[in-house]
Structure 1
Amino acid sequence: MENKKEMTIPNVSAATDAEQSLSKCTDNSIVNQDTDFKGYEQSFEEMQREILRQLGPSYLKTVSMTTLYDTVFEVQTPLIDGLLQRGTYLFVGSPKVGKSFMMAQLAYHISTGTPLWEYKVRKATVLYFALEDDYPRLQKRLFQMFGAKETGNLYFATECKTVNGGLEEQIRGFMREHPDTGLIIIDTLKRVREAGGADYSYASDYDVVARLKALADSYKVSMLIVHHTRKQKSEDIFDMISGTNGLMGAADGAFVLSKDKRTSNNATLDVAGRDQQDMKIHLVRDSERLVWNFAKSETEMWKEPPEPLLEKIADTLFSESDRWEGTASELCERLAVDIKPNVLSLRLSINASRLFRDYGIRYQNSRTHDGRKVSLWKETEQTA
């Protein structure tokens, strides 16, 4: 009986603990969990609606000016400062003017990271489709130009498929094996396009370059497409590109290598492009090594105007630390600048590439529950 009574006596301590535990759960759960669930459910429904909207036949992808201003785009530094930006460019000249020697020279300098003339070069792997050469000729040419200083980052192919016949898959396969590739050279365009009656229509010219450009853009690499000039002279040297304006229209720009006399060692390199300053560079060919040497440029290498804000960020925020985080308003206060926070964020978004290139500082602008958060951190530039 005593044992029975002992078993029926309630355990006050246990009950108290149970009530406290239940109390702790109810404070947090029923209302808050229901709110959270509704929030997740709403987000999921919005996601479903957005997916269905994008799958609709009338869907048009757009970006608002506000979103555009808020976006910090990926840093893309040029392969050769002031000379070769990321993108797809035609490299044009008359037959036997020295285009392939110039391509070998560019390929070698980029694959080794050594400066070209007066221009800084960023080291990257290079894929060179030397489709008008064979390996013995390439061996002899490279040894004459560069001697025994070989590089393992420069790859050659003397044959490949056409644009419509599998070239894209071949390049994608190479990129999977060599993700550090920065330059692809196709020498020449004629070798990778199909023969046909529409060879020189505007649509055909535009399409073949546009497809190669789309491939280069997907990997954020530079691509040089070697092509020929036509015989007819023109006041605008870029009008001498063989074919229709579709080639130039689809490309990001063009280089034209020309001589006044075929027997001369002097040549000019005209450069034009969307992200490239128009330039005319005078070159002299070394008759022994067959490399092109810099003589002079009719235009100085373009430099961006000074941006004191970037220098102030580097000096103020990173004298003692490698990272800073806060709001745009707090950043204005820390820098002691008379700039509206939204304008400061915009200037940093626009100059994010330059901030990284010149000072090794990464910038990120993200939305949080408490507003916009600015993150700046020091990072050494590793790749092109």
Structure 2
Amino acid sequence: MTGKRKTTASVSSVGADGKQPNIKKDTEIIANETAQINLQATDFCGFDTNNCKSPEKSGCSLQTVSMTELYDTLYPPRTPVVDGFLYGGTYLFVGAPKVGKSFFMGQLAYHIAMGIPLWDYTVRKGTVLYLALEDDYARLQRRLSQMFGIESADNLYFATQAKTLKEGLDGELEEFVKQHTDARLIIIDTLQKVREVGGETFSYSNDYEIVTKLKAFSDKYGICLLVVHHTRKMESGDSFDMISGTNGLLGAADGAFIMQKKKRTDNTAVLDIVGRDQPDQELTIEFDRERCIWKFKKAETELWKQPPNPLLEAINEFLAEGRPEWEGTATELLKQLPDMQLSANVLSRKLNVVNSQLLNDYGIFYDNKRGHERRIILKRLERNE
């Protein structure tokens, strides 16, 4: 990526044409670092863990971080899997049996593996693992060929059997992501197939613990775990109260998708979305029974668009064509950005905070190297880096 890029929003609005995206819109973009995302500053000081303090070294068993340390720490950037729609972390995808969840999972997996937009949402290309634990390979073959023809994605993998969490599912998933370092998404279809069975299966603490285990894995490797689950039979005014089990499932998850139809025979469904890293949404989608894919119809509200950040716009202008990379101190960088009335310390902190936005919206990698003198690194990445 070279030259200036206009980026006034981190997500694009949803289109209403409902057409299957053209494969030429491929967007291979940077995957998350494989380092754990949710580490405290005392464990993860920027990208250099040698300078970090441990509870043992500090003589304190309670691991804490001051507000100053928090602002002065550079954490790995978080990149969406699907802009404005799906992010790293552990999410529930919930719907009644036979409502069309598996078709949607196949559609989502294919689009991410191929790097083509889902409706008008930009997709970040990467390897996908789909644990289709209620299917067999012959059924998957028929379903996918009906949806996408014979064009295949060699970075989309399937398994119809897996261990439960108690038996070591996390070990199986860990081996997969170590072999496929560009893994972006793992789909578990369904939760019931991998959860431990016991006397407290449906207690709040047990449900919370199950999703917490999955979330620990997704956070460690910076990927998305999408867990398919069923709704309960009792109706509720709040669609998220329809999740089978206790509130512990949603409480521990990063977000949830609820797919509902008024009648099972309807082609139209409502998709409610809530999460920590994306705006709440309500989408109306329609099932194309001939092609077995979901098409977009409308959104209840338009996605909020983040206004331009003057600092990021200035850095984007500075790294113009002919200067794809720069390294120096914060003071030296300020001399290159004369309109930014900031101190060197404030500049470093602001860049630490907007690290992910700088990468996702402008394609610029930022690092803050520790040493005798802190040095800032800015690099405009090529599309496939």
Q: In the TM superposition, what whole-angstrom CA distance separates every residue of 1:147-193 from its partner, at most 9, and x where no partner exists?
A: 11111111111111110012111111212222211100000000111
Q: C-alpha distance in 2, partners of 1:240/1:192?
A: 21
Q: How does 1:34-45 map to 2 (within 5 A)?
A: none
Q: C-alpha distance in 2, partners of 1:160/1:59?
A: 37
1:299 to partner: Cα distance:
2.0
Structure (1/2) with the larger helix percentage: 1
Q: Select the residue among 53, 56, 64 that pairs with 1:53.
A: 56
Contact 2:319–2:380 (8 Å) recurs in 1: no
Q: In the TM superposition, what whole-angstrom CA distance separates every residue of 1:314-355 from its partner, at most 9, and x where no partner exists?
A: 212434322323332332232112222222222211112221
Q: How does 1:231-270 map to 2 (within 5 A)?
A: 231-270=233-272
Contact 1:357–1:381 (8 Å) recurs in 2: no
Provide closer, same or farther for how the CA distance between residues 167 and 52 of structure 1 changes in structure 2, counting only shifts above 3 A. closer
Structure 1 counterpart of 2:276: 274
Name whichever of 214-223 and 324-333 sits farther off: 324-333
Q: How does 1:74-85 map to 2 (within 5 A)?
A: 74-85=76-87
Structure 2 counterpart of 1:357: 360
Q: Within the alignment, does 1:309 sit opposite 2:305 as a pair?
A: no
Contact 1:184–1:224 (8 Å) recurs in 2: yes
Match of 1:276, SS state, is: coil
Provide closer, same or farther for how the CA distance between residues 52 and 257 of structure 1 changes in structure 2, counting only shifts above 3 A. closer
1:54 to partner: Cα distance:
4.5
Provide closer, same or farther for how the CA distance between residues 211 and 335 of structure 1 changes in structure 2, counting only shifts above 3 A. same
Q: Give the TM-score normalised by the residue count of structure 1.
A: 0.83
Q: C-alpha distance in 1, partners of 2:318/2:64?
A: 38
Over aligned residues, Cα RMSD in angstroms?
A: 1.8
1:302 to partner: Cα distance:
3.2
Contact 1:361–1:378 (8 Å) recurs in 2: yes
Q: Within the alignment, does 1:341 sit opposite 2:344 as a pair?
A: yes
Structure 2 counterpart of 1:142: 144
Q: Percent of pairs identical after alignment?
A: 55
4+ runs of 1 displaced by more than 6 Å? none
Contact 1:356–1:381 (8 Å) recurs in 2: no
Q: In the TM superposition, what whole-angstrom CA distance separates every residue of 1:123-142 from its partner, at most 9, and x where no partner exists?
A: 11111110111111111111
Structure 2 counterpart of 1:185: 187
Q: C-alpha distance in 1, partners of 2:76/2:126?
A: 18
Letter in 2 for 1:95: P
Q: How does 1:93-172 map to 2 (within 5 A)?
A: 93-172=95-174
Q: C-alpha distance in 1, partners of 2:86/2:273?
A: 10
- Structure 1 unpaired stretches of 5+: 1-46
Structure 2 counterpart of 1:88: 90
1:108 to partner: Cα distance:
0.6
Provide closer, same or farther for how the CA distance between residues 243 and 356 of structure 1 changes in structure 2, counting only shifts above 3 A. same
Q: In the TM superposition, what whole-angstrom CA distance separates every residue of 1:193-236 from its partner, at most 9, and x where no partner exists?
A: 12222110001101111111111111111010000111111111
Letter in 2 for 1:134: D
**Which structure would you say has the larger Rg?**
1
Q: Give the TM-score normalised by the residue count of structure 2.
A: 0.82
Structure 1 counterpart of 2:75: 73
Name whichever of 264-273 and 373-382 sits farther off: 373-382
Letter in 2 for 1:183: L
Q: C-alpha distance in 2, partners of 1:116/1:295?
A: 13
1:379 to partner: Cα distance:
2.0
Match of 2:140, SS state, is: helix
Aligned residue pairs: how many?
Answer: 333
Q: C-alpha distance in 2, partners of 1:203/1:52?
A: 28
Provide closer, same or farther for how the CA distance between residues 161 and 52 of structure 1 changes in structure 2, counting only shifts above 3 A. closer
Higher relative contact order (CA 8 A, sep 6+): 2
Q: In the TM superposition, what whole-angstrom CA distance separates every residue of 1:241-274 from its partner, at most 9, and x where no partner exists?
A: 0100100011000000000111110001100011
